[in-house]
Amino acid sequence: EVQLVQSGAEVKKPGESLKISCKTSGYRFTSYWIGWVRQMSGKGLEWMGIIYPGDSDTRYSPSFQGQVTISADESISSAYLQWSSLKASDTAMYYCARQRGDSHIEYWGQGTLVTVSS
């Protein structure tokens, strides 16, 4: 069974750094893309970027390029989304998702709520 299990909710202050995780199981980690999707409270879905763990090829939406870093660790079948300096506007639910190349999202994680507040 394919599973994507995300790390727990985070409460941070502006300017702090953060790395959230997405641990996968039930499939060959290096054979599928893992993407990240943001959903601000009461709003729609925003595709942030994607990584192919097989060769670490990473692509970002221009809206998020330079704002976040996507990475993966093949040894533990996990993907990551990180910020070096959080802003209040980063407050949102973040989903990881398994995506076929040039194709749809097949599986979603349960989401990680990130709250940034002074």
Partner 1 sequence: DIVMTQSPDSLAVPLGERATLNCKSSQSVLYSSNNKNYLAWYQQKAGQPPKLLIYWASIRDSGVPDRFSGSGSGTDFTLTISSLQAEDVAVYYCQQYYSSPDTFGPGTKLEIK
69 near partner 1, rule: CB under 8 A: no
Q: What DSSP letter does each residue of 21-48 carry, written as one string?
A: EEEEESS-GGGSEEEEEEE-TT--EEEE
Nearer to partner 1, 8 or 62 (CB): 62
Local structure of residue 8 (DSSP, 8 states): P
Cα 15 → chain centroid: 19
Residue 57 in the binding site for partner 1 (CB under 8 A): no
Which residues ranging from 29 to 48 are in contact with partner 1 (CB under 8 A)?
35, 44-47
Give the interface segment with partner 1, choosing from 19-27, 61-69, 71-79, 81-89 (CB under 8 A). 61-69
Q: To which residue do tokens 């959080």 refer? A: 86
In angstroms, what is the minimal distance from the CB of 18 to partner 1? 20
118 touches partner 1 (CB under 8 A): no
**Measured CA distances, 33 to 58, 75, 118 (Å):** 9, 16, 35
Chain residues in the site for partner 1 (CB under 8 A): 35, 44-47, 49, 59-63, 95, 99, 102-111
